[in-house]
Structures are given as structure tokens and as C-alpha cells.
Amino acid sequence: MKRKVLLIVGPTGIGKTGASLKLAETVVSEIVSADSRQLYKHMNIGTAKPTSRELAAVPHHFIDIKRPDEYYSAGQFGEEARACIAGVFDRRKQPLVVGGSGLYVKALVDGFFGPKIADAATKTRLKQDVQEMGLGRLYERLKQVDPETAARLHPTDSQRILRALEVHELTGQRFSEFQAMESRPAGFEPVFVGLTMDRGALYERIERRVDEMLSEGLVAEVESLHLMGFGPDLNAMQTVGYREAFAHLNGELSLSEMAALIKQKTRNYAKRQFTWFRKDKRITWMQVGSELPTRIENLLN
């Protein structure tokens, strides 16, 4: 029989980290983070990264593995996380995959189905980049990451330029390589748990967390990142919270405008995460509550 891997998924702010740490008190585990932003160093407050105490309590993987200016894709995560999980099993522990990055989870469990790879948030951001920087800048970006495809496209072919960039960001593959990709399902049995709660209550929790991030020094964190040379054009800095903080530091948003915008965009992001995960019929949805860890553990038996 295939070994079981538990995957705790759901929207931002719902309590995935807390649930996994509570479960690890009774199940000897190692946590594999499936969060596309917590993997970056120096980005702690705005990504709600586990605290140093939490990281010390249970072994964590894929936290602080890259600088914000280093490229990392869902495809890379899928390959590396599978190897990591095999190591956890070798140590006779239970892998707990925890995170809300749907594409990372898909890459890990299912591999990639080339024609179906798409992400609305990435597509929207690339279109915003066109409006802010011009198509020429994105064409130059494509020439750097995928010169073969760029050479085949006219510099004004916005649709194909954006599609090639989207594929590269999501898979780490050049467009021509991506078209030849085949899916390779993982060699374990995935056990999905989706965390859910009343939507209004979740939005209240999100707003409180944004307030906490700001009081903990999110703006100062972004200012420090900028001083280290990590500017707002980096892919890592397109994260909700960081982009708005850069706009505030540039004088484009007041403090209150920045806070309101972060809350709005985080709520929108949570809604998109729900939409993504609701499509996966393998997920067992559970209400957040005191009995949650026990109910999750029962799925592993």
C-alpha cells in the first residue's frame, strides 16, 4: 500500500499553521510548507511565517530557502518536495504538507498537466505589469528567461508573450519544454483536509491579522528589504502586503489607504483560494474548531 501524506489546505488566515502544530503534538511529524512566499528569506511578517519557537518545535521544510531575488517555481517545488517527503518517511515520521498555494500542492501531488496550467492571479499581475511598465519590458523579460520562444514571437504579440511568461513563472519551464511535459503523479496516497469557516468570520480574522502585521512592523520590514536591494519589481515582492507597503513608502498611498488595500486584496486572495480548492473533490472539508486535530488524525488511521 502507498504511504499516506496529509495535506492541510485552505485560504490565508484560517489557521493551517496552528492546526498542523497541534496535530504534531500527537503525531510524530515533519512539516512541508506549501507556501510560495514563506520560502523567501527576510519576508517574515507579511507572509505570516511560523515563529522561531514554532519552527523549533517541529522540523519544517521549505521555509527560508531562497533570497527574494532568486527564482523558484511550482515545478521545482513539486520535484524537491517529493524527495523531501521520501526522506521524512525514511526517518519514520509522518509528512504534513501545509499551505495555501494551490499550484504548489498540485505540482506535488499530481505533477503538471501541460495544457491545463494556468493561474488567474499570475495572469492578472502580468497584465498589470504591461499597463505599468509597457509590453516592451515584458518582452525583454521573456528574452532573458526563454530566448527561443521570444525569437519566435513578434514584440507586439501581447497574448503569447504573457502566456509564455505565465507558464515560465508557474512551472519553471520554457514554453517549448512545457508543451512537451507529461504529468507524473506522486508515489504516495494524498489525504486532503481543507479548513473552512464562516466567510464573515474569516474576513474578520484576516483584518485583525493585517492590523497585527502592521503593528509588528510590516512597513519597516519592507523598508529593510529595499535597503538590502530587493526592489518592488521582484516577483517575490508582488505578494499582497509588500506591494502596497512599497507604494506607501513611495508616497503613493497613505498609511490608512495602504491598510485598507491590503485587507481588501487579502480577502480577495482568500476567495480565490477557496475557489481553487473547491474544485478538488478529493478534499475533506472540516470546520475550524477545538476538535479539528483529532478529526484530522483519524483520517490517517
Predicted TM-score (pTM) of this structure: 0.81
Give yes or no: residues 164 and 193 share one domain: no
Residues 151 and 192: their CA atoms lie apart, in Å, by 42
The confidence score (pLDDT) of residue 72 equals 83
Give yes or no: residues 188 and 79 share one domain: yes
The 10s digit of each residue's pLDDT in 23-40 is: 999 999 999 999 999 999
Give yes or no: residues 189 and 126 share one domain: no
Which one, of 269, 235, 239, 238, lies nearest residue 13 by Cα? Answer: 269
Helix (H, G, I), strand (E, B) or coil at 19: helix
The number of folded domains in the chain is 3
Contact 134, 69 (CB under 8 A): no
Cβ neighbours of residue 16 closer than 8 Å, sequence gap 6 or more: 8, 9, 10, 98, 99, 100, 195
Give yes or no: residues 214 and 192 share one domain: no
**How is the beta sheet containing 284-287 ordered, strand by strand?**
60-61, 29-33, 94-98, 4-9, 189-196, 284-287
Residues 48 and 266: their CA atoms lie apart, in Å, by 12
Residue 180 predicted with pLDDT over 70: no
Within-domain flag for 276: no
The 10s digit of each residue's pLDDT in 160-174 is: 899 999 988 887 778
Within-domain flag for 55: yes
Q: How would residue 19 be classed by pLDDT, with cut points 50, 70 and 90?
A: very high
Give yes or no: residues 127 and 245 share one domain: no
The 10s digit of each residue's pLDDT in 59-117 is: 999 999 999 999 887 888 999 999 999 999 999 999 999 999 988 998 899 886 555 67
The confidence score (pLDDT) of residue 115 equals 54
Give yes or no: residues 42 and 132 share one domain: no
Helix (H, G, I), strand (E, B) or coil at 181: coil
Q: How would residue 184 be classed by pLDDT, with cut points 50, 70 and 90?
A: confident
For strand 4-9 and strand 284-287, is the pairing parallel, antiparallel, or unpaired? unpaired
Give yes or no: residues 157 and 291 share one domain: no
Residue 197 predicted with pLDDT over 60: yes
143-172: b (≥16 Cβ within 10 Å) or e: bebbeebbeebeeeebeebbbbbbbbbbbb
The 10s digit of each residue's pLDDT in 137-152 is: 999 999 988 888 898 8
User: Where in the sequence is the domain holding 212, given as residue range(s)?
Assistant: 200-270
Give the range with max mean pLDDT: 128-137, 160-169, 170-179, 215-224: 215-224
CATH of the domain at 229: 1.10.287.890
Which one, of 62, 179, 70, lies nearest residue 116 by Cα? Answer: 179
